[in-house]
Chain A
Amino acid sequence: MPAELKSQERARTGADIPARAGAGLKADHVAAILETRADIGFFEVHAENYMGAGGPPHRQLEAIRERYPLSLHGVGLSIGGEGALDREHLGRLAELNRRYEPGLFSEHLAWSTHDTVYYNDLLPVPYDRATLDRVCDHIDQVQETVGRRMLLENPSTYIAFAHSTMNELEFLTEITRRTGCGLLLDVNNVFVSSTNHARSPEAYLDDFPMEAVGEIHLGGHAPDLDDEGRPLLIDAHDRAVDAAVWRLYECVIRRHGAVPTLIEWDNDVPCWDVLFAQAEEADRILARASSARLRQAG
């Protein structure tokens, strides 16, 4: 994309979203949110849930958008796919961006479509030169079509590709350098992938290109065991954020300052109060970090 657009978009990223906690929006929660006028920084929606022509989903999202900043999170574009991006789908994403003017727009470092089939999962990519070139081309295409900077989310993975020639951080850093896109740092994904690949999550976060991060995700994971009986964590988004993930998150915020932070809870979704309490916990960590930094500055 042209350099001029890059710098302009960089200034606008996140402008609309405060450096506070937000929550993934669930249809069942909308009434409680509006009724209690929940004091929360923003809401995030999965773009694909709002690609119908009309009806209650759009009415609900319009009501939320009138009152809260919004983040738009795509889960089906298949940026890491071998084939070309689905132009119709990209057009739908651009249309949702026009209609709802979200403060942030993000997608995943993953693939989900091959040939004509959509697999509805975030499948892993090898970290090699050919994949890097393809992902960068796709991100350029997204940013040009949608007309704004996007954030790319680090994945949770269960397997590694034996023929990868870079590590994930080199891969992500090179993508941001070449495309000007930002990053969505999912701290739960860091913990899940680090555990699954027997790496240190702290070391991963030490080297993460934080200057590109426009948003953080936190969510719950489910414990399992792999073929050899070692821990295998599943990125299930079906429970509260794990204590180890909260600790990693607090370290990140203390070192780098407040970043808009989303609580994701997509399966076995609890009542609104329980999800809201997780967002309040993130807000407390953000506030503590801000006051500590103010004290240091003073």
Chain B
Amino acid sequence: MGTTGSHSTPDAAEFCRALLDPAAATPAGLTGPDGRTAPKRFNVYRNNVIVSLCDALAQSFLAVGALLGEDYFRALARAFVLEHPPESPVLLWYGGEFAEFIENFPPLGAYPYLADVARLEWAWLQSYHAADAAPLDPGALGALAPEAVGEVRFGLHPATRMITSPWAIWDLVRLNRFAPDPQEALDPARAQSVLVSRPELDVNVLLLRPGGDVFLGALMRGAGLGEAAGLALEQCAHFNLSECLSDCLSNGAFSGLQLDR
């Protein structure tokens, strides 16, 4: 098989179309040592591209991989790579659309929690690579005049993320990535919200207490402490301000505070 060496020049666009389309013919003018076109040789490049990008996703989304099993994950990753190839040579930043892709992937409709699992793993990765910064000293609030505390706003630490979900995302990620425990029963249908932070070297994931998502969400949007606490109480009668605030401070969610007035 194969034609002898044509002298037409495959340009990069033609090369690329064939790279991402397994059904496409090998571009003409690419040959083995005998001058014949060489599909198997071209397939080395196709394989390198797809496999290395699927590997990158597998390293970033370990819990999604454990939940789906390797074969299914690789088929899913392959479909994602073909639809969303990377747009930067920095693969640390590859996979930001993976959660949304999973959410809209009809065969996974029976596993509605998977997209939020991917969101949490993406948040973990962003936190891991975020800029370093000193966390706010938890004692800083105590130095404020009591009447000023309600007005205080917090500067967010660069590594801080929050993921809220109607599913048990922390249990799902913990048991499928960080601390597998076959004895522990897992019920995905429990709402969980987590704070992801990295005050020093290690990324922390903290399960937020009731109302903590409303409270921290408001602070992250720039609300004052009093306003955020009021919103959380409105939506959750069990909200405990001192516990939730202490969780955020001891996990290094903030890097500074300011008083507007």
Contacts and interface: CB of A to CB of B under 8 A. Distances in A.
Interface of A: 48-49, 51-59, 75-78, 81-82, 86, 89, 92, 111-121, 123, 126, 158-163, 196-199, 224-228, 230, 232, 234
A234 B44 contact: yes
Nearest to A80: B12
Please tell me the size bucket of the interface on B.
35 or more
A255 to B, nearest CB: 27
A198 B35 CA distance: 12
Given A162-B5, A163-B9, A120 B49 contact: yes
A112 B44 CA distance: 14
Contact of B33 (A54, A117, A163, A198): A198
Contact of A114 (B16, B33, B89, B91): B16
Contacts of A197: 32-33
Contacts of B2: 227
Given A56-B201, A119-B19, A89 B30 contact: no
A117 B86 contact: yes
29 contacts: A51-B90, A52-B90, A52-B130, A54-B131, A55-B130, A56-B128, A59-B201, A76-B90, A86-B89, A116-B87, A117-B16, A117-B85, A117-B86, A118-B88, A118-B89, A119-B85, A120-B49, A120-B52, A120-B53, A121-B52, A159-B31, A162-B5, A162-B29, A163-B7, A226-B32, A227-B2, A228-B32, A228-B34, A232-B40
Interface in B67-114: 85-92
A119 B16 contact: yes
Given A117-B85, A232-B41, 14 more contacts: A48-B90, A52-B129, A52-B130, A53-B158, A59-B201, A118-B89, A119-B16, A119-B49, A120-B91, A123-B15, A126-B9, A158-B45, A162-B31, A227-B32
A260 to B, nearest CB: 25
A112 B89 contact: yes
A149 to B, nearest CB: 22
B38 interface: yes
Nearest to B42: A159
B32 A159 contact: yes
B89 A113 contact: yes
Interface in B116-158: 128-133, 158
B6 interface: yes
Contacts of B129: 52-55, 57
A131 to B, nearest CB: 10
B211 to A, nearest CB: 30
Contact of A158 (B9, B41, B88, B198): B41
Interface of B: 1-2, 5-13, 15-16, 19, 29-36, 38-42, 44-45, 48-49, 52-53, 56, 85-92, 128-133, 158-159, 198, 201
B11 A118 contact: no
B35 A81 contact: no
B32 A81 contact: no
B30 A159 contact: yes
Contact of A162 (B6, B44, B90): B6
Contact of B92 (A49, A123, A230): A49
